[in-house]
Amino acid sequence: TYDGGSPNINMMGFGGKYVLFLMNGERMAGETFDNIDYDRIDIDNIERIEIIKGASSSLYGSNAIGGVINIITKDSKSPLDINAGYLYDSSRDHKLNLSVGTKQKWGNLNISSFYKMREPYIIKDRISTGGIYNELNVAGFTNYGVNPKLTFNLSPKINLSLTPGYYFSERNPGTPASKIVREQYYNYNLGLKTNIKFNDNQNLIVSGTFDRYEKYDYFRKIKEKEKKYENEVWRISSQYNQNLFKKHTLVAGGEVLSEKLLNFMFKNESTGGRENAQTYSAFTQQDWVINPAVTLVTGARMDYHSIFKQYFTFRLAGMYRFDETMTIRAGYSGGFRSPTLKELYTNWFHPWGGGFQLMGNKNLRPETSDNFNISIDFNFKKLNLTFITQYSKIKDKINLRGNIGDTLRHVNFHGNTDVLSSEVSAIYKLNRNFHFKGSYSYYDIGKRRSENRPHTLTFKAEYIPSAKYYIPSIIISGKYLSRTKIYDDDSSSFVSYAPYSIWRLQLASKFPLGFTLT
């Protein structure tokens, strides 16, 4: 969905603060409306996407009760890989991508890059309303980035990966003010990871990452810029993996996470508008294969926050496989989320909509939660069905609340907030040419303040031609989001938002020499 004009992710009824978004297993800096800048991601450089739904792992942060999304980027598959593409669509977007790579005995190198741009334009209503046309200004942008990925095989048992990256974006609203000043965004990141394989059953992974995301006001006439935001994340981690007796898997590790935030919304003169926090974590998870039908998973995690001290969370889950067609999973996981630096220290007057003061709260308490989930998978020859439900009881949930006058302040809800989320998904392969996918999601938080819509439907139909060239593949996809009610301060009054749907038709034809027309 979209929140304030920016993409907003939701998993199991939880927004970006409860979903951990990773790139090659590492966190990403920068946040707007609780979400990272998704334009940083080069979709043409994605090898696969790993998704864990719900609170089901001790290996990641205890705040990830909505789920974990990990994007794995591409490695080269041959001595010389070259991929190039150009896209233009009816929303006037232009996109260029180019990647070059090689696979050798010494390792692997892949350099991917992209360039995207759009000029601003105005959408006008086609139906007259008393002689006055409503207009919607669509902002333009210029985005580009480069992401090298280098892997060295130092020995048959040791490899080393280096992943630097650079990203730039400029937003052009198309308004008279944008001729004077525009927003610019920069990102610099660097990752280093080594995998040491002791034997077929033991290995150690050690990694370190740096990620900085900056926002500026760029004054075009004098060609100067003023920094408005800087988010810097450092992370060092290690993880030891061992297989025992072919039935027991042990994972243990630790990490140090340091975050610094400079924000024009912070008014603390003693810190110069900069705040920081550190988290030190230790975790373990064990998988026990009792027999071919039964598997148990236990886990524990300790997070020590520099402001809110230590907190322990635990996990217990089980899986029972009836046969090749039916699998049941169920589990419990504890959750812990410390307030973000924005929730603690914001002090800013928002000028739009008549104006209001947005305030942080240094007296906030961390959220704690108990999360229970159950899922059932059915796997037939042509049909796959998955049912998953999670119930979360969150204590001291943090949200915005209106106070005296035109002030919104971050507060802890009193007592517990109950969140129920369910999802049904299906994949049907009629034959090698026709594939269908669909899902339905339900989310309920009672009358607590939430922007998430209670019902969501998705659908995808795909035709894959038998011919290798020329005949196009056809994909029809869409989603429907239901009406929602946003309640005011846990009372009976609310604002209703209408339902909407988005649909997409895509055709793609392959040609000789590796060309594809989409």
Q: β-pairing, 107-118 with 140-155?
A: antiparallel
197-221: burial string, b at 16+ Cβ within 10 Å, e else: beeeeebbbebbbbbbbbbbebeee
Please report whether residue 505 resides in a domain.
no
Kindly state the tokens that stand for 377: 């998978």
Please report whether residue 452 resides in a domain.
no
User: Residue 435 in contact with residue 429, Cβ under 8 Å?
Assistant: yes
Which pLDDT value is given to residue 491?
58
Which pLDDT value is given to residue 171?
93
Which pLDDT value is given to residue 437?
96
Please give the tally of structural domains in the chain. Answer: 1
Which pLDDT value is given to residue 122?
82
Which amino acid would we find at residue 488? D
Q: What is the CA radius of gyration of the chain?
A: 25
Residue 454 and residue 483: Cα distance in Å, rounded? 8
Please report whether residue 299 resides in a domain.
yes
pTM over 0.75: yes
Q: β-pairing, 19-23 with 67-73?
A: parallel
Residue given tokens 């749907």 in the structure block? 501
Which pLDDT value is given to residue 447?
58
Which pLDDT value is given to residue 488?
62
Which amino acid would we find at residue 351? P
User: Residue 439 in contact with residue 458, Cβ under 8 Å?
Assistant: yes
Neighbouring-strand partners of residue 269? none
In a structure prediction context, what are the per-residue pLDDT tens digits for the chain, which is 518 residues long?
655 556 778 888 788 889 988 999 888 988 877 888 999 999 999 999 998 888 877 788 788 888 999 999 999 999 999 999 888 877 778 999 999 999 999 999 999 999 999 988 887 766 655 555 567 778 899 999 999 999 999 999 999 999 999 999 999 988 889 999 999 999 999 999 999 999 999 999 999 999 999 999 999 999 999 999 999 999 999 999 999 888 899 999 999 999 999 988 887 766 677 899 999 999 999 999 999 899 999 999 999 999 999 999 999 999 999 988 999 999 999 999 999 999 999 888 877 666 788 888 999 999 999 999 999 999 999 999 999 999 999 999 998 887 656 788 889 988 898 999 999 999 999 999 999 999 999 988 765 556 678 889 999 999 999 888 889 999 999 999 888 877 665 556 677 888 889 999 988 888 887 777 87
Please report whether residue 514 resides in a domain.
no
331-350: burial string, b at 16+ Cβ within 10 Å, e else: bebbbbbbbbbbbbbbebee
Residue 84 backbone phi and psi in degrees, to 5: -140, 150
Please report whether residue 463 resides in a domain.
no
Residue 322 and residue 253: Cα distance in Å, rounded? 33
- Which of 401, 397, 394, 472 lies closest to 433, judged by CA? 472
Which pLDDT value is given to residue 110?
96
Which pLDDT value is given to residue 11?
84
Its domain, for residue 364, covers 2-429
- pLDDT, tens digit, for every residue of 128-137? 555 555 677 7
Q: Whats the size of the chain, residue-wise?
A: 518
Please report whether residue 500 resides in a domain.
no
The three-state DSSP-derived secondary structure of 314-362 is: EEEEEEEECCCCEEEEEEEEEEEECCCHHHHHEEEEECCCCCEEEECCC
Residue 257 and residue 62: Cα distance in Å, rounded? 13
Please report whether residue 456 resides in a domain.
no
Which pLDDT value is given to residue 194?
97
Separation of CA 62 from chain center = 16
Please report whether residue 462 resides in a domain.
no
What's 347's domain CATH number? 2.40.170.20
Question: CA dist 287 to 65, 206, 291, Å?
Answer: 20, 22, 12
